[in-house]
Chains A and B, each alone.
Chain A
């Protein structure tokens, strides 16, 4: 299993992508997609310095993605409103710094994608050594609130998804 399928989720994703691309569930496409799903992760493995990502809790990931989808829609309307109604000079754009506890490279990649997909926030840089995230916020009203939101609704769940191994097990979710 682990030798030929180092990352089953990645393989399933590749197979689904192949079937979606070809818009077909014919046997030939299952075969071809299946071969691709086995071979591609093996070939790509030497290119990944941190190895394939291990999801400790896929269900927590799904919940996180759902919550961020809602957040994306909400902040898209906020940003749209600001662009249309507020005078450009009155928009309070700021850089803020968020101290991060997250260390997993895959987790950080996911965090940056979620933050950058959400309108109104752009990930600028991760200051090395101190692990502080430099973040640009379109309209800053309360810095402490932003830091708290990033840490509780994004960073917490991502740590749960990728790094549960290091923590005390909290019992499975119902």
Chain B
């Protein structure tokens, strides 16, 4: 059965879902283009992965179920695998970015003003200051995590 002979009750939802899914994916991509920092840009494609892909997969299920006159639901697997793998990738990207920032800040802190980063890293009581605000907080926050991890792994061998 081709698209032209698809009954209207299937064609309408398929068309609507495809357009909505496409628009959502477009908005997600636009976020990638418009947003300023890496940490903001990582949120753009998230809506394409969850809702955009979801709409397109549902459209695919409706279309093939109607066109082949049998239940076609193996798109559910694509959805399940997306929801299992995409979060892991997001987390890895985020941590890679943080480590990169931290290293850049370390290098900068040691080279020019010397005080800021280096001093913080050697201060163990830093954790109770509350959450530092602003984008540069990334490196600082992670400096703590890094420090703690080094302690846990090395047994205080610094």
Contacts and interface: CB of A to CB of B under 8 A. Distances in A.
Given A72-B51, A83-B35, A119 B74 contact: no
Contacts of B27: 80, 83-84
Contacts of B104: none
A17 B77 contact: yes
Given A83-B44, A97-B131, A113-B87, A136 B94 contact: yes
Contacts of B148: 127-130
B77 A136 contact: no
Contacts, number: 124
Interface stretch (A42-50, A88-96, A157-165): A88-96
Nearest to B73: A20
| Residue of B31, B42, B86, B148 with most partner-chain A CB within 10 A | B31
A128 B146 CA distance: 10
A134 B28 CA distance: 24
A113 B50 contact: no
The majority secondary structure among interface residues of chain B is helix
A21 B74 contact: yes
B84 A127 contact: no
Interface of B: 24, 27-28, 30-31, 34-37, 39-40, 42-44, 46-47, 49-51, 72-74, 76-77, 83-84, 86-88, 90-91, 94-95, 98, 127, 131, 133, 135, 137-138, 141-142, 144-145, 148-149, 152
25 contacts: A23-B72, A79-B43, A83-B34, A93-B40, A94-B131, A97-B131, A112-B87, A116-B88, A117-B50, A119-B43, A119-B50, A120-B46, A122-B90, A122-B94, A123-B87, A124-B91, A124-B95, A125-B95, A127-B148, A128-B145, A128-B148, A129-B152, A130-B148, A138-B40, A143-B131
Given A80-B28, A134-B141, 8 more contacts: A76-B50, A83-B28, A95-B138, A117-B50, A119-B50, A122-B43, A127-B144, A128-B152
